[in-house]
């Protein structure tokens, strides 16, 4: 919902973790410091890349991509490792993986290569639904008579039967048994990448350093929960979870990438997102943008202004698929209904402090306020400037509704 402000990052601390020990960017650190910082992430990762690449039984696709991403000639490049981990746009990396992965499909089935992406998502969705007819609809959107031979556990006959009891659609166990004939090979590829990009190998100390260095103060997915950074015995700590925007199970090669880390609240990460594949179903990526003017809070009727029930919602202005999916995954319209009292107070304040009165206050008490935005923050109890919405929970809600109520949010 809220864009992460990378300008507030403590880049010195972050870049120490993602340091190129051979690079020239770190003249402020002596050689000993550089080598010490390199032991935190870069050196262990280099060792894992080398080990996996040198194994005789490493899958050819894993070896091909490791060479493409990290080698210069017959040697691993430190700069390629650090550039890879600090890459902001993952499209090229994901595309390279998907293209290489599709090479496991037989030449006669190349036209069905998208099935490697579509089936895991469809299977997960079907497993989450109890109604057999809905399960069948999801499954048969992917599995067709022409590609059914690429699956085990389902036949062409199954595609045409009514989804009744005792059919393949009647239990999660039977759906679980439906697998791609390439599943074993795909699991090997994922397993080998996980061995290289092992997120669990990143110590808690480094994770907390990264989280605190981002200076993210509020969960960017919901803008409802504070993220608190603090210190214990001089060591950095954070209350945030690290969410992997592209999940580790399907994109293990992004498990250590800086811009795949989203500091988030536990509710968004562990209760709502879970294993939803943001690579397949597009969602708003907080490193790239927020809801901005495309997803806005609005009051649903004039009754809210006349003492009636408070009704409001997040409107997907242009019916964006990214916003639609984000609203659904994080249950934003639903969870925000717990803030009825807050919205009610905003409505009353907007009527008491109309725009004309606010202008008068600014003129009469100019020595108290540095700007109109500061006055808005003090009177309405929240930040309302676009670039400051990540400083306090519910700031996006306040800004949008005040705008809807005719309060001009301007410097």
149/49 Cα distance (integer angstroms): 36
Other beta carbons within 10 Å of 318 = 10
DSSP codes, 194-235: HHHS-GGGS-HHHHHHHHHHHT--B-TTTS-SB--EEEETTE
pTM of the predicted model as reported, rounded to 2 decimal places? 0.88
List, for residues 142-187, the tens digit of each pLDDT value: 999 999 999 999 999 999 998 877 888 988 899 999 999 999 999 9
DSSP codes, 185-204: HHHHHHHHHHHHS-GGGS-H
Residue 396 pLDDT grade (very low, low, confident, very high; cuts 50, 70, 90): very high
Strand positions, DSSP E, 312-365: 312-316
Q: How many helices (H) and strands (E) does the chain have?
A: 19, 10
Is residue 26 scored above 60 in pLDDT?
no
DSSP codes, 11-50: HHHHHHHT--TT-SS-TTS-HHHHHHHHTTTHHHHHHHHH
171/129 Cα distance (integer angstroms): 10
Average pLDDT over residues 222-237: 92
Is residue 403 scored above 80 in pLDDT?
yes
| Residue 236 DSSP symbol | E
| Residue 46 DSSP symbol | H
Cα four-point dihedral sign 127, 130, 134, 135: positive
Check residue 411 and give its pLDDT. 44
List, for residues 93-111, the tens digit of each pLDDT value: 999 999 999 999 999 999 9
In order of 21, 165, 188, the CA distances from 42 in angstroms are 8, 54, 24
Tell me the two tokens of residue 391: 């400083």
Answer yes or no: are the C-beta atoms of 210 and 240 closer than 8 Å: no
Other beta carbons within 10 Å of 366 = 10
Average pLDDT over residues 305-328: 90
268/264 Cα distance (integer angstroms): 7
Average pLDDT over residues 1-15: 91
Mean pLDDT of the chain: 90
């Amino acid at each position: 919902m809220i864009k992460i402000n990378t300008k507030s990052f403590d880049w010195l601390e972050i870049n120490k973790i993602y340091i190129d020990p051979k690079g020239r960017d770190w003249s402020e650190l002596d050689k000993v410091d550089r080598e010490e910082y390199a032991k935190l992430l870069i050196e262990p990762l280099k060792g894992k890349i080398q080990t996996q690449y040198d194994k005789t039984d490493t899958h050819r696709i894993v070896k091909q991509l490791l060479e493409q991403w990290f080698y210069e000639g017959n040697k691993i490049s430190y700069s390629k490792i650090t550039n890879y981990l600090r890459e902001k746009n993952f499209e090229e990396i994901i595309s390279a993986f998907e293209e290489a992965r599709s090479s496991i499909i037989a030449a006669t089935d190349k036209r069905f290569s998208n099935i490697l992406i579509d089936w895991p998502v469809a299977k997960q969705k079907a497993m989450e639904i109890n109604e057999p007819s809905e399960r069948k609809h999801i499954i048969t959107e992917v599995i067709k008579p022409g590609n059914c031979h690429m699956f085990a556990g389902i036949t062409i006959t199954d595609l045409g039967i009514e989804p009744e009891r005792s059919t393949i659609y009647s239990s999660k166990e039977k759906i679980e048994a439906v697998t791609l004939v390439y599943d074993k090979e795909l699991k090997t590829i994922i397993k080998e990448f996980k061995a290289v990009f092992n997120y669990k190998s990143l110590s808690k100390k480094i994770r907390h350093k990264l989280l605190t260095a981002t200076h993210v103060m509020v969960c960017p997915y919901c803008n409802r929960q504070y993220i608190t950074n603090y210190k214990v015995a001089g060591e950095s700590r954070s209350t945030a979870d690290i969410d992997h925007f592209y999940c580790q199970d399907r994109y293990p090669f992004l498990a250590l990438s800086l811009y795949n880390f989203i500091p988030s609240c536990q509710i968004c990460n562990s209760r709502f997102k879970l294993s939803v594949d943001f690579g397949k179903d597009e969602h708003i990526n907080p490193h790239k943008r927020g809801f901005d003017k495309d997803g806005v809070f609005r009051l649903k009727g004039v009754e809210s202004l006349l003492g009636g029930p408070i009704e409001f919602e997040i409107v997907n202005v242009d019916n964006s698929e990214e916003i639609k999916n984000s609203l659904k995954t994080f249950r934003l319209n639903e969870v925000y209904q717990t803030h009825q009292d807050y919205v009610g107070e905003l409505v009353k304040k907007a009527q008491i402090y109309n725009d004309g009165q606010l202008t008068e206050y600014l003129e009469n008490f100019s020595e108290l306020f540095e700007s109109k935005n500061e006055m808005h923050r003090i009177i309405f109890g929240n930040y309302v400037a676009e670039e400051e919405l990540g400083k306090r929970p519910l700031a996006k809600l306040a800004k949008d509704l005040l705008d809807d109520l005719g309060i001009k949010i301007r410097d």
